[in-house]
Each structure stands twice: as C-alpha cells, then as structure tokens.
A and B are shown apart, each in its own frame.
Chain A
Amino acid sequence: MSQSIRDSLDHCVKCTICETQCPVAAVTPLFPGPKYVGPQAERYRDASREGSPDDSLDYCSGCGTCTLVCPQGVKVAEINAQARAVMKAQKGVPFRDKLISRTVVGGRLSVATSPLYNWGIGVGALRWAAERTVGIHRRAPMPHAARTTFRTWVWRRNLTRRRVRSTHRVVYFHGCAANYYETELARRTVAVLEHQGIEVIIPRQECCGLPMQSNGLLDEARASVRRLAAQLAPYAREGLDIVSTSTSCSLMLKREAREILELEDDPDLRALAPRMFDICEYLVGLYEQGKLQTQMQPVPLTVPYHPPCQLRAHNIGTPAHRLFELIPELRVIDPNVTCCGVAGTYGLKAEKYDIAMAVGAPLFAQVDGSELACCDSETCRWQINSATGVETVHPIELLYRAYGLE
C-alpha cells in the first residue's frame, strides 16, 4: 500500500462527516461506513501476515465522496481501494469482476457481435442466466454496443481528410465507453471542438485501467494505464492539452493512477497530469479567455443535471453549469444528490444492485418524467437511463444542439 495514502489516516479526528455523506452507508447496514473501513480499520490491517479480516469493506462503491468531504485530508476512498485490492489479491478476484474489468476485450466483442449482443442484453432469460452464472444483475444497466467503433470512424476521417486544421490543437482521449458504446458522443465532441476552430488529434489509446483497479486487479491496471500514458505523453510534452469526456478515466490520468496504483514517479503520468482536462473544464477555460463560440440557438428544455461523484473528485466544481448558462432557454435542475449508485461497475454486481438502486433512488425520483437528463459520466448515464427510462446525455450533447450542429 502506498504509504502516503495509509499515513493520511493519521489526520482523522473521527468527526464522522464522511459517515454522514457516504451514499452507501446511508442505505445499507451491510457497509460499516467510511470512517470505520478507512482510518479506523486500516490500523488493524497487516494483510501480508494475517490476511484481510473485514470483507464488509467490499461494499464501498469507491465513489470517492468521503475523501472529498473529509475536512482533514484523509484519503478514505483511496485507503479502501488499496485495502480491497489486497483483499482481492488474497481471496481471488471473482470471474465476474475480471470480466467487467476488461473493457477493451468486452467492448471489442460486443461491437463485433453487436446485433446479437444488443438483442441479448434485452432478453430477460439470458440476463437471468447471466446473473446466475456470472453474477451480473439481470436488471443492471448494460449499454448498447455500437455497430462500428469510434476508432473506425477516426480511421475513415483520417482517410477523407475532412477535418479542421489549426495551430490550436488538442488531443481527445475518448476512453473505452465512447469507443465501443457511445460513439455518437465521441463524434459530437469532435464536432463541438472543431466548431471552436480547434484541430482535434485522436491518437490510439488503451484502457486507463480504472475498471481493473476498482476490481482489485492492480497489476493489470498498472500495465494498462502505463501503456495509455505512453501513448498520450508525447503530446503533453509537446505542449498540447488533452481533453476527455470520461470523468473517471481522466481522473485516473490526473491523479488516481499515481496515487492508488503507486505510480507517483512514472514520468509519462507526471507529464500528462497537468495537461489533462475534463471537456467541460476545458471549454469553460476557453470561455474565460473569450475563445468559446457563444452563438447559440435556444434549447427549450428543463433538464435535471447530475454532476457525478467522479467529477467532484476532480476538484473543479461543476463546469457544465457555466456552459449551460450560455444556452438560451435551457433550464437546468440540480437534484443535489451525491451519487447515482452505480459507481462504475459496482451497481452491475448481483449482490450490490439493490444497494446501488437504493443509493440512486432520490436522484431517480427527480429525473422521472423528464424529457431529457444530463450527466458527465457514462456508467451513471446508463444507470439513470435504466432506472428511469429517461434519455440521459453528456453535457456536450446539449452544446451540440445549441450550436445547431445536428
């Protein structure tokens, strides 16, 4: 375990603030809460000799809220993540967790077989069988696979040379979800950036390793994120900024990989971190420099917008709100709910599905009946959509409409 993370437990004054904000502890007695599993339990863990005695730790969803709210700087969620990795390393990672961590393999497979896959995830009997055999809950949100990947589009685009050239260049880190499932979001992001007159570079990119990390496969996660960092770092060294539509994947590159995976000294990650931006964060930056196109058409909608936990962990506030203010006639509601429950892959798991749904319940109640909902993080969008039936989009999609790029 990283010593700086473990040592942060020394700052805990037991004020219980994290306990009051943990969305999981609020809905289930199975989870003893962040103060307990974090700074308290960690004092009792000598896993190398004695093993991990507290399986209840696994109910932490990794949403990161505790770290964010702790006034003393205890890295609670990070302590949990590392302790869980140790536990998984000792007790073995279930097949299911390995399966859902391999986003690249899973993504490729589902795209290759997309008609069949998309049909399959909608068939109750198959989902029931998957719950029984693999442990993925039958009602857990599953994204539809694209027919062709975003990368195929990029490849074609490069062939046709129909792209903006400019001295203002940025790199787009799209991540796995946009490549295999939400290719439309990826294309629209490129369109919104090009609308600003920016040249968008889209290099090859690996998985950031987060799904493996949160499922306790730290070595695999390390290998993956280092490959990704090696792919992107040359651009950062050249002085280019990197933008991302995936809040959790960009957080990995900003800091989580270095902190949780103990890659503090990795030169590629170090070069990348200061150049890594969430897409809305980046656009707000442009706006502040007077470089953002503000010619927009009205979007007469009332949209509940849920800033996901992972976005909050960026410590950049909620930049999307600034962008929404620029869109005429758009009304945005803040449900003011900590977490939608899914927390990456947590809510997919059969034994955690109900907890995840309970966590998200206050959010779903406010989204219900809307025409459209909005959230920055992909798995959260799927969760909100699956729980409420309301189409849920990334903030970029609203900008895309406002710019009349449809």
Chain B
Amino acid sequence: MEAIQTEVLVIGGGATGLGVVRDAALRGYDTVLLERVDLGQGTTGRFHGLLHSGGRYVTRDVEAGKECALERDVLSRIVPDAIEETGGFFVTTPVDDPDYADAFARGCVDAGVWVDEIEPALAIAEEPRLNPRISRAFRVKDGAVDAWKLLWANARSAQQHGARILTYHWVTSILREDDAVTGVIARNDLTGEEVRIDAAFTINASGAWAGEIATMAGADGVTVVPGKGIMIAMNHRLVNTVINRCDPPGDGDILVPVRTVSVIGTTDTEARNPDELEITHDEVQRMLDAGEVLVPGFRNTRALHVWAGARPLFKDERADQSLDTRHMSRGMALVDHERRDGLRRFLTITGGKFTTYRLMAEVVVNAMCEQLGDDRPCTTATTPMPVSAEDGATRVGARLARRERNLHDEKVVCECELVTRGLMVQEIDRKPLGNLDDLRRVLRLGMGPCQGGYCAHRATALVHERTDISAGRAHELLHRFYEYRWLGLKPILYGDQVRQAVLDEWIINGTLDLEHLPREVSR
C-alpha cells in the first residue's frame, strides 16, 4: 500500500477544506487534502452562488451578518477572479411583510452591513423585469461566485505552498493510536488502490458528511443534519443584480445571476442522507411560484437544470427537534474532539456558509496551532490567490469577448457555454483520467441550454483522441455524463426544455444509439 506522510491532513474538498489546506500551507505546514470525488462535488458545487452581503442574516443572527459583511470584502480582494460584483437588491414585494423593511435596515446598521435604500423606481429602471409592485428597495453588496473557480484558486494557492491535493481519494477509515488520530486509509478511485496517509494532525472538513467522518474516528454523536435545498437555473440572465426578498428568510427568496444563467432558490428541508437528495415536483413548483413573485413571467422562461445541495447543519444535543432546519444555527461549528471526546490531533469544522469559509478555516487552523503550541499567524486574508487561465471569465460577457478574439482560429466544442477546443485540450491533458463531469466543473461544458446534447459527444471524441482510453470506456464516459445531466432535467421538463430534451434524445439514441454501444465499466 502506498503511504504518504504529512503534517496536516484535511478531509473534504469543498470550500471549507480548501480554505483549511490553503491556510495551513500558508502557515508553513506540510499539507495533504483528500476529496472522495472531485473538488466541489459536495455542497460547494451545488450551492446558490451568492456571495452574501450579510443582509439575509441581520434580523436573525447579527454575528453571521457581520461575518459575511467582512468576509465578502476579503474575498473580493483576494480572489476577484471568481467573483462577479453584481450588487444586490432587497425588495419588498406585495406578498412580503411591509414592516420587515425597517427591521432589516436597522439590522444592517447594527451588523455593519452596507445598505442604501433607493427609490423602487430606480431599482426597476436598473432591473426592468423586477416586479413593478415592489414598495421598498435596498441596495446591498451582494456578489455572484463561481464556486469552482474559487475552489481551484484556493487549490493553486495552496499548491504553490506545497500542498498536495488528492481528488478521487475516498477516506474509508481513520487511524488511531490510543487517544490520538494518526492518519487515514483512503481508496484511490481512479486506480482502485488503497493509500495510507500518516498525519501529525487531521482536520475533518467534510461538510454534511462530517458526522460520518467523526464517527469513523470514534467520536460518536456529532450530528450534522443535511438541510436540503433545491435551485433551478434559468436559461439566461433575467436580472443582472442579485434580487432578495425583503422578508424573513423563506423559500425561493433569492434570484442570483451567475455566469450565463439566473438561479432561483432555495428550499430547506431536513434530509436523511446527503448523498440522496430527492427533488420533488412540489419543490420545483414552489421555486417557480417564488420566481414569479420576483420577476413576473418567470414561469414562461426556460428552466435548464435543477439540483439540490445539503447544508451542513451542526446540531448539538440541546438543539430542538423541529423539522424546519432554517431555525437551527447556521453558524460555524468547531468541534474540539480533545475536549469533547478526549481525542487528540483531530478537529472537525462544519456548518457555516460558503461566504465565510475562509474565516472558518482560520478558526480551525488557529485551534490546531493552539493544540500544537505553534504560534503561526494566519495570512489568508491578505494573500491574493493566483488567477485562473481564464482570468475574469466570471463576468458574463467575458467568454463572448474571448471568443470574438479567437473566432477564426479555434473550434468550439460546447456552443452554449462557448468552450473552445483549446480550453478542452488543456484540461484533458492536465487530468487525463478525468471524466466529462470533471471537465464540466472546470469549463462549464454542457451546462447551457442544450445540456450536453450537442457537445458531449464532441467532448468524448476529444478525450478519446488525447488519452489512451478504449472506445468502450469513451462510451461509458458519455453515457454517464448524460445520466447525470438527466437527473437535473427530469424534474423540470416543461416548456422549452422539453423540446430540447426530445431533440437531444433523438441525437443520443436515435442517431448515436448510445444505449446499445458497448460500454466498458471500469474501476
């Protein structure tokens, strides 16, 4: 069995884990991060995409509002590449509690969240689709985040400081010597081999799976409830500003313009298993109704894809048992296993939200330093992250501008999201063992209106051309990609997307006969 030694081992390749590994690497530790699938395959790749101004929390949890207000500024300084400064509005629609606006404005002031009340007419002039019957409007500093871009920026930054980031490494057991955690055993899902990692310190940053990992370490009863939320991406930008309802947090109260789409979300229901998040018809209808409140005519626009994510909601024994998890603490949870379970060299960090992931990392690495008796200051808030090859692409027009420059020199593979052959080749060569979903997460391959109908076979051919996979394996890649796309299509098949799905089906099965192609299901 391959064995790896490190000082700090991080479990979980979401925002929190990457924040932790970057933080520890910047403090000079030798680090390894393990992620069971690809970076952002957990909640971070399935969230709403909102860089919170803090406004959403000010009436319930002033502390959370404060943290967001500070952290959103930090992130926009250190990783502008992954953020679009869309700005946001809080608007009072006819169905919202009219008194909430004043409480909201006061809360913002108390929490230090920047807010500016404007004439509703001005908000409508800027966002012509907005419900014309809004009675109050506040401008806030919301932004839109490309989660994957942010994750890879963290990864690159950490790697520059020696971090080893191992994806497709599934932690299957945790090693202990007496009262200390000494490392883990992981299965490399690309090779099928087991790997042993010995670590001086282990940090559990596995989000909604944190309870499971803690249990593996022998720390029982760390309950992390998966709070399921669904989101629907609409085909184009209905708004260019984040729109929040000025009302106590509820379902479908935020519309976020992210890259080429607008995302409506979200819901909050307790799930049993973060790996099995079912999307119901009723939830979809609720989202569409909610969209209609913000943007009249919402239901007539095209839905592209629906997905669900699991909030890691930390639940200690004293929390009440009510099923509506929105009322539980969303604050970050640092579990000191030495104090709680007498287990040394092991910390869990979970809960929180994406916007505050850097702060969460700082908190847990501080706690680790304290246990180790190290005095190493955190520098993540002031160290900029390296930009991606596609610098600035988070702005909506960036890819079109880029395409205009290479119109005559490069072929396009994914027409909807303007992914060129050059971008594809670069990514395939970097990760020859990857699948189409890995490419999708980096490049947005297949995330546009046709949902892969026109690009997935081209992409498969390219992978086959650039790597030494067999034809059967290529068919399998294509098949799996469509299968995953389909999961997010089935619940929203109405209107324009039905016609697309039918045409795609004709191409995939009528023309390619993908269903009957020999597939090599490996590893």
Contacts and interface: CB of A to CB of B under 8 A. Distances in A.
A219 interface: no
B512 interface: no
A238 interface: no
A389 B403 CA distance: 41
Interface stretch (B101-109, B394-402, B486-494): B394-402
Interface stretch (A39-47, A224-232, A380-388, A397-405): A39-47
B196 interface: no
B79 to A, nearest CB: 20
Interface string B407-445: 110000001101000000000000000000000000000
Contacts of A49: 240
Interface string A25-60: 000010010011001111111101111011110000
B401 A10 contact: no
Contact of B400 (A6, A11, A45): A45
B300 A7 contact: yes
B129 A46 contact: no
Interface in A100-124: none
Interface string A140-184: 000000000000000000000000000000000000000000000
A40 B415 CA distance: 8
Interface string B379-398: 00000000000000001111
B400 A44 contact: yes
A55 B401 CA distance: 9
Contact of B496 (A6, A11, A15): A11
Q: Which of A6, A13, A15, A46 has the most CB of B within 10 A?
A: A13
B136 interface: no
Given A44-B400, A45-B397, A72-B499, A14 B450 contact: yes
A9 interface: yes
B453 A53 contact: no
B416 A40 contact: yes
Contacts of B240: 46, 48-49
Contacts of A14: 415-416, 449-450, 453-454, 500
Q: Is the interface of A mostly helix, strand, loop or mixed?
A: helix
Nearest to B503: A13
A3 interface: yes
A44 B453 contact: no
A72 B495 CA distance: 12
A116 B404 CA distance: 44
Contacts of B470: none
Contacts of A29: 408
Contact of B397 (A32, A50, A56): A50
A28 B454 CA distance: 24
A372 interface: no
Contacts of B399: 44
Nearest to B396: A46
B286 to A, nearest CB: 21
A12 B235 CA distance: 11
B129 A10 contact: no
B407 A32 contact: yes
A15 B500 CA distance: 9
Contacts of A48: 240
Interface string B300-311: 111000000000
Q: Which of B235, B302, B397, B398 has the most CB of A within 10 A?
A: B397
Given A7-B301, A9-B236, A15 B397 contact: no
Contacts of A13: 450, 496, 499-500, 503
Interface string B440-480: 00000000111001100000000000000000000000000
A9 B450 CA distance: 12
Interface residues of B, number: 35
Contacts of B448: 43
Contacts of A39: 449
Nearest to A29: B408
Q: Is the interface of B mostly helix, strand, loop or mixed?
A: loop
A29 B499 CA distance: 30
B53 interface: no
Nearest to B405: A53
A46 B237 contact: yes
B141 to A, nearest CB: 16
Given A32-B407, A53-B397, A10 B450 contact: no
Contact of A12 (B395, B396, B418, B449): B449
B295 to A, nearest CB: 10
A3 B395 contact: no
Interface in B270-329: 297, 300-302
Interface in B220-262: 235-237, 240, 260
Nearest to B236: A43
Contact of A56 (B235, B404, B453): B404
Contacts of A40: 415-416, 418
A45 B503 CA distance: 26
A25 B54 CA distance: 49
B400 A10 contact: no
Q: Which of B260, B418, B449, B499 has the most CB of A within 10 A?
A: B449
A361 to B, nearest CB: 22
A54 B397 CA distance: 9
Contacts of B496: 10-11, 13
B69 to A, nearest CB: 23
Nearest to B404: A54
Nearest to B403: A54
A32 B405 CA distance: 12
Contacts of B128: 3
B294 to A, nearest CB: 15
A315 B495 CA distance: 25
A202 to B, nearest CB: 41
A7 B503 CA distance: 20
Q: Which of A9, A43, A50 has the most CB of B within 10 A?
A: A43
Interface string B87-116: 000000000000000000000000000000
Contacts of B503: 13, 15
Given A9-B236, A11-B496, A44-B260, A56 B395 contact: no
Interface in A1-24: 3, 6-7, 9-15
Contacts of B500: 13-14
B400 A54 contact: yes
A35 to B, nearest CB: 8
A44 B397 contact: yes
Interface in A70-124: 72
B501 to A, nearest CB: 9
A15 B496 CA distance: 13
Contacts of A56: 404, 407
B169 to A, nearest CB: 36
Contacts of B499: 11, 13, 72
A51 B396 CA distance: 11
A122 to B, nearest CB: 38
B135 to A, nearest CB: 23
- In the A-B complex, the 10 residue pairs with the closest CB atoms: A53-B401, A44-B400, A10-B302, A50-B397, A43-B236, A43-B260, A53-B397, A53-B400, A54-B404, A13-B500
12 contacts: A3-B128, A3-B129, A6-B236, A10-B235, A13-B499, A14-B415, A15-B503, A41-B400, A44-B396, A46-B240, A46-B397, A56-B404
